[in-house]
Structure formats: structure tokens, C-alpha cells
Amino acid sequence: MQTYHHISGLRKALALHRQQGQTIAFVPTMGNLHRAHLALVEQAKSLCDVVVSSIFVNRLQFGLNEDWDKYPRTLQQDTQKLISVDCDYLFCPDEHEVYPNGMDQQARVIVPSMADVLCGASRPGHFEGVTTVVTKLFNIVQPNKAIFGVKDYQQLAIIRRMVEDLCMPVDIVAGDIVREADGLAMSSRNGFILPSERPKVNQLNQSLNWIADELKKGNLDFSALEQAARGQIEHAGFKVDYLTICESASLLPAANDDTQMTILGAMYTEGARLIDNVSVVLSD
């Protein structure tokens, strides 16, 4: 695996592959890699000739009271993990390389219809930071395909809308959620879960799946289902941030004649904020 810290070097290396007619897949990350990240790289390997992954802890997507400075930086371990799944290139820039004129002067990319709800309501400015840095990374790498995990469903939906709205020639591919044995979605933030909480944190996933089962049975009383699931989570000792049944593509509240729905939830433990989602396809 070749590692680049500068845009110019990476572009030069990737240009050689394009000249040979090879396709390029891209997996952007913030590092602190786990098995779910590596599954995205493996998926990318199956889709394209060359795989690029990036590691950049993007300060622009962290709020004022969030943990940018505490976010784990594990570059040495991450590098070895990427090598183990045959990643071809690692792009690991510093902040000045990505934001040469400083973040205050950085042009921003905004997807207004989706960015202020769900996680966006709890984390103002977060998705503006995501879409801005992803746009820059797409311009740097110029991939044929980019792979994003379904665990961050709202992020995936926003990036798809951004690519469509801005006519970007990038195919956005969804990577399945990788879960622990008890159903907990793998996340870099799982390391903040307190040991005393760990046996119960799968309640979020259990409650989302309970709603999915009810929807499949024909129960479309969305408000009652959401309220009951919130009660399940609170009874387990956690604080609900949001729990909503949405139309899958638009993230608007589900309507009774929708056939594709996604149940999205976020909850707070003492040590972490966890998110998860479950999608359902109903017959017409």
C-alpha cells in the first residue's frame, strides 16, 4: 500500500491508473478503524481495480461541545489494518492540506432538505462539515465509486442527494451494517460505552427491529410505534435522542402509502451516543 499526505502526489499516482483504463473505488474514513471499515474496503476491492482509503479527522463536522480533540488517532494500527485487506492507497492529509485557506474561509456545501433533522438537529452544522469535506475528497480522488456504510444512514442519504444535485460522476455504494454478536452496530464510538452499560446497549437495535416487525404485520400507527419503542429504550436506562419512521429516500416522516421505510434511532448512554437504523420494504 502506498501512502500519500499531499494531494499532488496522490493525483499523480491515480492518473497512471486512469490512463490504463482502471477503475477507482474510494472509502473515506476518520481512522480508528474496525471490522466494519475493513468490510467497506473489501467491498470496494470487489467493485473496482484500485482502492483508495482516506484517514482525516475532519474538525469541520464536529460541534462546539463535541470530542474532536478526543477522537482516537490510531494511524499506525489503521495502516496495518488497511494493508491486511489489500488497500492500494492511503490518503492521510493534515488539516492545512484539506483547508489551505482555513476553515473559516472555506466554501461550504449544504444539502438543505436533509441536514437539519435527526442527527442534524442534535448536531448543528455536522452534515455541512461532512458534505464539504466529502466534496473535496471526491474532487481530490475522482473515484468511479465511493462506498459508505449504511449505519450512518442519514449521511448516506445526504451524500446521495448531494451527488445527484451537483451532477458528480461518482456512483455511491452502500455497505451493510456490521454488527456485534448481540446486534450492536460496530462504531468507533463503541469504545466509549461503559462496561456496566454494555450488556444493555443492544436495546436500540431490538426496538428498531420490533418496529420493523410491526410494520410488516400491517401496523402503520407510526406515532404509537415510535412512542412504544422510546419507552422500551428508556426502560433499559438510556436517553432517547430521536426515534423516527421515515420514507427511505427523502427522510420525510413516513406516510401510510409509503412502501420503503427506514426506522432511525439515536440514544445516549453515559459514555456514548449510539445510532442505528433498520429498513423495511412493504408490498404495495
Cβ contact 277:119 at 8 Å: no
Radius of gyration, CA atoms only, the chain: 19
State which H helix or E strand residue 36 sits in: helix 35-47
* Residue 4 near residue 89 (C-beta atoms within 8 A): yes
Cell of 8: 499532488
For residue 5, give the amino acid letter.
H
**CA neighbor of 91 nearest in space, from 122, 130, 56, 121:** 56
Give the residue carrying C-alpha cell 460541534: 63
Q: Which amino acid is at 251?
A: L
Print burial letters for 136-151: b (CB count within 10 Å at least 16), e (below 16): bbbebbbbbbbbbbbb
- How many Å apart are CA 212 and CA 225, to the nearest integer? 10
DSSP labels for 179-218? B-TTSPBP-GGGGGS-TTTGGGTTHHHHHHHHHHHHHHTT
Q: Is 37 marked active-site?
A: yes
User: Minimal CA–CA distance to 141: which of 44, 35, 59?
Assistant: 44
37, 96, 126, 235: which one is catalytic?
A: 37
**3 state DSSP class of 32:** coil
Work out the burial of residue 4: count CB atoms within 10 Å of its CB; fewer than 13 is exposed, 13-18 middle, 19 or more buried: buried
Tell me the catalytic residues.
37
